[in-house]
Structure 1
Amino acid sequence: MAQNIPKNAPSVQTFVKVKEIKDGVVILQDNSMKSVCACSSVNFDLLSVPEQEAIINRFQEFLNSLDFSIQIIVASRHFEIDSYLNQIREMEKRQTNELLRVQTSEYINFVESFVEFANIMTKSFYVVVTFKIAESKEEELDFMGKLKNLIASRKPTETFKDENFAQYKMQLDQRVNLIIQGLQGLGIKAVPLNDEQLTELFYEFYNIGK
């Protein structure tokens, strides 16, 4: 039975702080701009102790070299194997050799039971880079100007016009390039997500299990 939704119930937009996705940039309700990079991984446990220590030191140097904050996200999801098993089932139907058909069926049963028992998860890694309009303004201020901005930080965030978007995006892209280059030194490949990939990512985050 459907539940009655109160008239004053908050909309989805109240909880989803995304205002717009444009040219690979996520614009939030407070007008801050974010770029999301999908990152590869390094099997740290398979490295020797000297290699592990070298990566830790390089990662520390990488973080210390940044003059802006980043956000590292690790997304865990149940391993999706249905499409793979459906392909195997189609192969089973077309199999003319009875022995191979039986072996294929047993393989399908084994994989299904193994995945259910082991509860296999996949992990995706992302780095989020942020740029705010206030940061661009502060570059032109002296110490007292920055102090006044800090005291007035509770005021609503300044909005930007469409004609200024390219200017702010260029500064965001500079930060993204620094992240990509820094991660390359760790053996990690980082790729910025485009509009379609960002939309799909947010859909998955807000529709877990679907």
Structure 2
Amino acid sequence: MSSMKTADEVSPTRRRLSRDERLRQLLDVAWRVVRNEGTEALTLGYLAEQAGVTKPVVYDHFNTRPGLLAVLYREFDTRQTALMDKALRDSEPTLANRARVIASSYIECVLQQGREIPGVSAALAGSPELEKIKREYETAFIGKCRTALAPFAGAGTIAAAGLWAMLGAAEALSYAAATGDISADAAEEELYQTILSMVDRNADQ
């Protein structure tokens, strides 16, 4: 009897990934590409190459490059929302606590994702379709902040201008922390003070 083994006996059959598992793999590779090479390097063809799959597999999941970027941003936003919601539920209902939760949750989530999220966020502004998606998530975040902070404002609400200014500060500070220009603690404290100041201005109205 021959002692030679067949190819199937020598190497076990590779398990076929489910659709959800494949999506998770592609997203992990996409984040890695953005982190290591920048958003401009992330094309569907390059993602297929880096993930070791054929182009049709990637196109089946995302259809277009904007579609891929939208999924990445949606994943980041979902993580950020869950982190902030939990922190708000667990915090005491005071202005200081609510402001601290918003500041720490925003900064922490950007830092957890790493330096790649600023590139994805910037890319979202590159087309009307992606800008619309980004604006929808920003509007939802501002609404959540208004609900959390309004009880501490004199008029019972927070002016939209102040909330958009706060969001701009949050983005700038978190991205500066992600790139190492400032520390995470400094970013959080500055955002915290910005939120307190915004509410105080509304309390005087």
Question: TM over 0.5: same fold?
Answer: no
Q: Which has the larger radius of gyration?
A: 1
Structure with greater proportional helix content:
2
Structure with greater proportional strand content:
1
TM-score by length of 1: 0.22
TM-score by length of 2: 0.23
Greater relative CO, 1 or 2 (CA 8 Å, sep 6+): 1
